[in-house]
Each structure stands twice: as structure tokens, then as C-alpha cells.
Amino acid sequence: MTIKKYMTAAAVAIAAAALAGSALARDFTIASWGGGYQDSQRKNFFKPYGDSKGIRVLEDTYLGGWAQFKAMQETGNRPWDVVQVETSELIRGCEEGLFVKLDWSRIGQKSDFITPAVTECGLGVAVVSQLVGYNPKNTKVQPTSIADFFDLKKIPGKRGLRSDPKGTLEFALMADGVDVMDVYKVMSTKAGLDRAFAKLESIKSSIQWWEAGAQAPEWLVSGDVVMSTAYNGRISKANKDGHGLKMLWQNNILYVDKWAIFKDSANVDAAYGYLKFFTDPKREAAFTNDYTYGQPNKAALNFIKPEVAAELPAGKNIADALDTGREDSVEFWLDNSDEIFERWTAWKAK
């Protein structure tokens, strides 16, 4: 169900509840990132949780950024109870009172989880890397560095990029030679931000923008693009289906997404119950064995297959990664998000 259709349905429900003079009651709803990733979440978490509680679990898709949350703030209509978000949106939502400040006694022991998974308003969902993926069947020359992504002469063809400045601008600067530890220092200056946009401008005519994570591996398999930034789990999932895609781990961008509960949720008890259900280490490991993302419960590692563990965003795979949860990253996007998104939208429209 699209958010537009869902919001229309929710509006009708609100009107009916008002006429009845009673509080709004609706099905427990989770929003995540769609595609095969959400299919695996449904299999391992959403449906088993609903079955265990005898409740219906509805789903929707969140595609990143603040726009959907801004609409909820402006209309007062919040059609979701739980959402998977990136760190900067989590912190903004926490500061602006959109998300619940979690009662961890209803979830589990904080010491059971990796440090980035425990925050004031969010529980870690997955450890994810965005990196360069490619299909060796579609290019005569194999890329060996992220700089090759921007070299149209060496490797001609379309490039897939996430339609979001977050991560994409950082990726452009690292491909242009900026050290991973200096990215936000550089991007905090006008010259540095101009440099990032200029790098993207150099291949703009060859960019195919993706919004949903499932699109990148689909385009690599079909040959619509020769390379694309993509989430590691999406590439690994495609390879389980026999597609033989490759990943470059150099300067990948590391995320630890979080589950957040909406303040004034009509189903707050179900939301806390879901978070607690999610934290079971065997259940988390079953998800990772199906879909190759790291998990927040440290004990989950005991149940992950060795061949899967080798493809996780961990160890040598993230030796030179840009961690989006580090302080300078979070502060940069909290301070500059609105201005950069405005410039980004104007630049893409040119």
C-alpha cells in the first residue's frame, strides 16, 4: 500500500472515530525499506510477531529523508507505529518530539547490544553498508576503486546512485581523494560542498537515480547500469539467486539503522512488544543468514553461518568505512540537512 493510499484510509478512520466519540483504533503498522529486505523482515519478524500476539501487522514503505515525517507533523496524522530510520532522522525526530524516548526495561538489557544500537529514541535494527556494486558481465574493465565509478572513459555506461544527498555527497568526495576522516571537515566549507556537487556533475548525464534499495541490484542484473551504489545485503541477496554481482568495500558508507516508536502511537504496547520480540538473538541470526546485514544483539553472532559472516559489514570489510553514526556526521546533517536538500533538489532538476 502506498503512503498516499494509506493516509487516505487513515483519514477516513479518524473521521469515523470522531463521529463515534471514541479513540481511534487501527492495526499495528510498521514502516521499513521495502523490497526483498522487507520481505525477509516480514518472514522473520513481522508475521511471527503478529502470529504470537494474535494481531494483524500492517506494513508500509519509508524511503528516507524527512519529508514523510514533516507531513505527519503538519497534518497530525501518523499512520505508522514503528519505523526504521537512519541516525540523523532518528535524532531529529527525538529532539522534535516525534519519537518516544524508549523505556529500555520493556526491551532488554542494554549490555546485550552493540554500542551504536542503544540510543535514547531508537533500537538498532541492522548494520548496513552502502558500497559500489557491479556486474562483471556488463563491463569489459572491472572497477578496482571508487574513483572508477566516476571515470566514464575507463568504464563507459550508466551509473546507479541513491537519490539522496546523504551518503552520495560523501561518496563523491571520497572518490575525489578526500580522506574518510576529513569528509565532514571538507564538506562543511562552501568550497568542499561545491567540490562534492562538481564531482557528481561530472557524471550527471550518466546517472540513473534509485530511491528504493531493491532497484540497484535489479538494474545491475538487467544491465541498465554498469555500476551502482547499493546496500551490501541487497547485492548478497541477488547473488543467492545466482546473479554473480561483485562488491567494492573501499570507503563504503556504514549505517546502523534504528527502530523508533511514534509518540502518541495508538499501539504503543504492541510497538514495545515488537521491539522486545525483535531482539531475540536466534531470530536476528535467522534474518542475517537470509539477508546479509549485521545485527544489534551481540549474541546473534553465535548463530550466523561462517560464509555469511564473511560478507557482513564488519572487520576488514569496514576498515576504511565512513561511519554515519560518528559525531561529526550526525552534527553535520542535523545542522545542514534542510539547506543541502534544497540545493540538491534544485541541482537534480537542472
**What is the 3 state secondary structure string of 135-168?**
CHHHCCCCCCCHHHHHCCCCCCCCEEEECCHHHH
Q: What global pTM score does this model have?
A: 0.81
Q: What is the distance between the alpha carbons of residues 262 and 268, in angstroms, rounded to a whole number?
A: 8
Predicted local distance difference test score (pLDDT) of residue 26: 81
Residue 291 has pLDDT above 70, yes or no: yes
Equal fold, 3-127+256-317 vs 130-254+336-349: yes
pLDDT band at 63 (very low <50, low <70, confident <90, very high): confident
What would the pLDDT profile of 1-58 be if each residue is shown by its tens digit?
Answer: 444 444 444 443 333 333 333 334 689 999 999 988 999 999 999 999 999 999 999 9
**Which residues, in sequence order, are CB contacts of 99 under 8 Å at separation 6+?**
90, 93, 121, 122, 260, 261, 262, 263
**Which residues, in sequence order, are CB contacts of 95 under 8 Å at separation 6+?**
none
Q: State the cell numbers at 40.
A: 525477509
Predicted local distance difference test score (pLDDT) of residue 339: 96
Q: State the cell numbers at 83.
A: 519505523
Considering the segment(s) 3-127+256-317 as one domain, its CATH architecture is 3-Layer(aba) Sandwich (3.40)
Q: Any idea where the domains of the chain sit in the sequence? A: 3-127+256-317, 130-254+336-349
CATH class for domain 130-254+336-349? alpha beta
Dihedral (Cα; 177, 235, 329, 144), 10-degree rounding:
-10
Q: What is the distance between the alpha carbons of residues 178 and 184, in angstroms, rounded to a whole number?
A: 10
What would the pLDDT profile of 123-153 be if each residue is shown by its tens digit?
Answer: 999 999 999 999 999 999 999 999 999 999 9
Q: What percent of the chain has pLDDT over 90?
A: 88
Given a contact cutoff of 8 angstroms between Cβ atoms, the answer to whether 118 and 124 are in contact is: yes
